[in-house]
């Protein structure tokens, strides 16, 4: 049930653009088309010789916890899957993009399944999430029909691995320092991993793949329990009993708010309705300076409300998908224009995007997320323009007829 008062409130809020906090350029350096062209060029020139994206190289003295070198395979496979998805659209019309896509897909299909680094560290959750997403998207491409059988097998394999990684509490994460078990205990399940995986599994289910409904149901129920009365989502299971700590407050949860709300919305779980989706987007926009402060910082969670750079573009990618889920064309247009403007302003001069120095993967994964977000926003705008034209055409025809009664 949609709350009429809530709808009026958020409709009013959307018209009140916040003041620029000065932390990002005031004017975009490029148009949307120029931005996407520059991003594509970066992807074309920074693809590895074997077709993958990202490297294990790091110029930092201290890095993200790795546990074993197996974590690098997880990072590289997930990063490459994101870049593959970003290449799909331009590959339909750009020959160089088509070649790069073919090479990246070939590499992804040839790679052995990604496993755990150890029982306590398993960044492969990211790889399984985005390989499922990648497989579903590539299977829609007629040009890749010769690889569809292999892509179906890959997607089935990744769904099975995702089921094996599902924790005892129903969610997903990438640490389990409380014990080393065949399956995670769930003590370090994260809300954002659970939301991203649930969305990938729902996309696979809708594409005809077998996804155990009871397992998906427990994942969505776990995600629902992460949701706080103020609309924020708790970072992870271990923080369940600390709901008012900084990173669990709305200002510390904006990077994961979109993916979690979108998963519950698509799963028709809890009370996440259109006003709630809109309210979450408005919060991201109006309190954006809190997540912006974390962008590019080398130490995770050092910014206000423990925000970290590494979920900056993750959050904005899923925000673009939430915008596409709004039922109001006016709201889609307003928030789509805001997000497009933001992504254009934070693009680097070389065409890449960057939010966190994760070994040599940061620019590649951020560029993948950003390209996907901008493509989503362009699709939304094009669909809305086409729908508006269809409405206007009969009206113009009727007006013309009335002026010429014959």
pLDDT tens for the chain, 406 residues long, are 334 434 444 444 444 444 344 468 888 989 999 999 999 999 999 999 999 999 999 988 889 999 999 999 999 999 999 999 999 999 999 999 999 999 999 999 999 999 999 999 999 999 999 999 999 999 999 999 999 999 999 999 999 999 999 999 999 999 999 777 888 999 999 999 999 999 999 999 999 999 999 999 999 999 999 999 999 999 999 998 899 899 999 999 999 999 999 999 999 987 899 999 999 999 999 999 999 999 999 988 999 999 999 999 999 999 999 999 999 999 999 999 999 999 999 999 999 999 999 999 999 999 999 999 999 999 999 999 999 998 876 766 666 666 665 5
Name which of 166, 168, 146 is nearest 158 in CA terms: 166
CA gap 200, 132 in Å, rounded: 6
Tell me how far apart the alpha carbons of residues 404 and 374 are, in angstroms, rounded to a whole number.
44
At 253 the pLDDT is 94
The DSSP output letter for 113 is: P
Q: How far apart are CA 205 and CA 141, in angstroms?
A: 18
Say what the pLDDT of residue 399 is: 62
Among 380, 398, 396, 294, residue whose Cα is nearest residue 338: 380
Cβ-proximal residues to 233 (8 Å cutoff; 6+ apart), any chain: 191, 192, 195, 223, 226, 227, 253, 256, 257, 260
Answer whether 222's CB lies under 8 Å from 170's CB.
yes
- From the CB of residue 393, how many other CB atoms can be counted at a distance below 10 Å? 10
CB neighbour burial string for 86-121, b if at least 16 within 10 angstroms, e if fewer? bbbbbbeebeebbebbbbbbebbeebeebebbeebb
Residues 6 or more apart in contact with residue 293 via CB below 8 angstroms? 23, 303, 304, 307
pLDDT of residue 396: 64
Positive or negative torsion for Cα 61, 62, 64, 67: positive
Q: Which domains does the chain have, with CATH numbers?
A: 4-403 (1.50.10.20)
Secondary structure (3-state) at 227:
strand
The vertex-330 CA angle with 13 and 258, nearest 5°, equals 65
DSSP strand E in 89-161: where? Answer: none
Contact 130, 85 (CB under 8 A): yes
Query: By C-alpha distance, which of 120, 131, 247, 221 is closest to 174?
Result: 120
Helices H / strands E in the chain, number of each: 14, 0
Buried b (16+ CB within 10 A) or exposed e, 253-288: bbbbbbbbbbbbbbbebbebbbbbbbbbbbbbbebb
The neighbour count for residue 11, using CB atoms within 10 Å, is 14
Would you say 209 and 159 are in contact if contact means Cβ atoms under 8 Å apart? yes
The CA distances from residue 21 to 25, 270, 289, 302, in Å, are: 10, 34, 7, 19
Tokens of 197: 């995986």
- Cα 93–chain centre separation: 24
In angstroms and rounded to an integer, the radius of gyration of the C-alpha atoms of the chain is 21
């Amino acid at each position: 049930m949609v709350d009429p008062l809530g709808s009026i409130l958020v409709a009013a809020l959307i018209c009140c653009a916040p003041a620029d906090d000065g932390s990002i350029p005031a004017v975009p350096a490029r148009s949307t088309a120029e931005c996407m062209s520059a991003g594509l060029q970066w992807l074309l020139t920074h693809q590895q010789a074997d077709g993958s994206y990202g490297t294990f190289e790091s110029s930092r003295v201290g890095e993200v916890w790795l546990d074993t070198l197996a974590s690098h395979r997880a990072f590289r496979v997930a990063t490459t899957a994101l870049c593959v998805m970003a290449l799909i659209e331009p590959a339909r019309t750009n020959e160089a993009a088509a070649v790069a896509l073919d090479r990246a897909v070939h590499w992804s299909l040839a790679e052995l399944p990604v496993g755990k680094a150890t029982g306590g560290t398993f960044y492969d959750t990211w790889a399984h999430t985005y390989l499922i997403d990648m497989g579903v998207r590539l299977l829609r491409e007629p040009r890749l029909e010769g690889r569809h059988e292999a892509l179906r097998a890959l997607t089935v394999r990744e769904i099975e691995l995702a089921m094996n990684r599902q924790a005892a509490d129903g969610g997903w994460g990438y640490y389990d320092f409380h014990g080393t078990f065949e399956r995670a205990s769930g003590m370090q399940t994260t809300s954002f991993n659970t939301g991203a995986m649930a969305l990938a599994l729902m996309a696979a289910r809708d594409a005809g793949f077998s996804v155990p409904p009871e397992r998906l149901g427990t994942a969505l129920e776990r995600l629902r329990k992460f949701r706080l009365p103020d609309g924020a989502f708790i970072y992870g299971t271990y923080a369940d009993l600390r709901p008012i700590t900084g990173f669990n407050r709305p200002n510390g949860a904006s990077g994961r708010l979109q993916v979690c709300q979108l998963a519950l919305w698509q799963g028709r779980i809890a009370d996440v309705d259109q006003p709630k989706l809109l309210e979450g987007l408005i919060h991201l926009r109006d309190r954006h300076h809190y997540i912006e402060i974390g962008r590019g910082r080398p130490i995770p969670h050092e910014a206000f409300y423990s925000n970290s750079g590494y979920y900056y573009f993750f959050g904005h990618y899923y925000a673009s998908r939430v915008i596409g889920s709004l039922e109001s064309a006016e709201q889609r247009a307003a928030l789509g224009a805001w997000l497009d403007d933001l992504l254009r302003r934070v693009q680097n001069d070389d065409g890449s995007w960057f939010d966190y120095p994760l070994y040599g993967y940061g620019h590649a994964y951020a560029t993948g997320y950003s390209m996907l977000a901008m493509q989503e926003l362009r699709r939304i705008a094009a669909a809305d323009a086409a729908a508006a034209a269809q409405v206007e055409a009969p009206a113009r025809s009727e007006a013309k007829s009335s002026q010429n009664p014959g």
